[in-house]
Structure 1
Amino acid sequence: MSLSPSPSSPTPRVAAVPAYSERLGLPWWCWLAGLALAGLAAAELWMGAEGVRAWLPFVLLLPAVLAGLWWLGRVRVAVDGGELRVDDAHLPVRYVADAVPLDAEGRREALGVGADPLAFVVQRPWIGGAVQVVLDDPADPTPFWVVSSRRPTELAAALLAARDAA
């Protein structure tokens, strides 16, 4: 009895690890500044009052600011399953003509005065780098995507590798 699969039997598929994955979270100092400002605002509303006004600003403002900061840093960027996924947007890699890593100056130029208004942009100001993904889809009026990334060269390489593998 042979343990190797026969040529006619399908080989088992193993779930592919994403070629690239990143969360565009906020830096630690944004969390610290946000909580400090929320605490200061709650203390200003409290102003030594008694009763409900003594604890209600703290109970409402601090969790609201935490939820807002989490929401700002929730965006995920991934190259997985033949797609570039940016939050809820999906781009099949077969439509990627080129992926250009941008530093802070390049991102500023791509999103500056001469930027195309039809471009898809997911930009986070606390992240310096980005990737410009040039599209090759005649049915789509979007000329390119600009996506913030802390590791733009790795994201661009993963996109081009996924495109070449597809």
Structure 2
Amino acid sequence: MSSPSPKSPAPKGSASTVLYSERLTPSFGIWFVAALLAAACILVFVPISLTAGITGAVVAAVIFAVLLILSTPQIRVTPDSLQVGRAQIERRFIGQVEAFRGDDATMQRGPALNATAYMCIRGWISPVVRIEITDPADRTPYWLTSTRHPEKLVEALTQGR
């Protein structure tokens, strides 16, 4: 009996089929600020020596890059589940899903925000999606997540209902 090839596609509807995936990576502006902060280390250490300043800047740049990469959450939708950052829920507990852009997104992140909602928001990504949670055992009313493609995420979460 032969085992399936690791490159063979997963059966349709299986949990390993990814309907939508997005990494909330930092924008160019965030990387630029991190580079400026690392370069500022030269000014801090140059009174000791230029070599210490350059070494400090390189070490700071590596630390900032690692922290930015490690703190990058992922949104992943499969036929059975939704993962946003470290949180995961079965799709059967997802209710209404809405996308917001512009002033409406600002309102959802600010005055309209419920303090008990789960949030995965990145300041460099303006659009958000609000995902209602219908699990009676979960006191979280909804999840609010930043996304660069809100319409695609809404489509992935509402298809097959």
One-letter amino acid of the structure 1 residue matched with residue 60 of structure 2: L
Letter in 2 for 1:119: A
Aligned residue-pair number = 150
**Is the contact between residue 104 and residue 130 of structure 1 (CA under 8 Å) also seen in structure 2?**
no
Pair 1:140–1:37, CA change in 2 (3 A): same
- Percent identity, please: 23
Structure 1 spans left out of the alignment, 5+ residues: 1-11
- The match for 2:105 is 107
What is the TM-score when the length of structure 1 is the normalising length? 0.79
Report the 3-state secondary structure (helix = DSSP H, G, I; strand = E; otherwise coil) of the residue aligned with 1:31: helix
Distance between the aligned counterparts of 2:53 and 2:140, measured in 1?
52
Tell me the TM-score normalised to structure 2 length: 0.81
Q: Which residue of 1 aligns with 2:87?
A: 89
Q: 1:111 to 1:36 in 2, by over 3 A?
A: closer
Q: Secondary structure at the match of 1:138?
A: coil
2:50 is equivalent to residue 66 of structure 1: no
- After the TM superposition, which segments of 4 or more aligned residues of structure 1 sit over 4 Å from their partners? none
Secondary structure of the residue aligned to 1:133 is strand
CA distance in 1, matches of 2:133, 2:141: 6
Measure the CA separation in 1 of the matches of 2:122 and 2:159: 25
Question: What amino acid maps onto 1:76 in structure 2?
Answer: Q
Partner of residue 6, structure 2: none
Compute the RMSD of aligned alpha carbons. 2.2
* Alignment partners' CA distance in 2, 1:143 and 1:50: 55
Please list every run of 5 or more consecutive structure 2 residues that lacks an aligned counterpart in the other structure.
1-9
- What secondary structure does 1:33 align onto? helix
Question: Cα distance 1:19–1:54, how it changes in 2: closer, same or farther (>3 A)?
Answer: closer
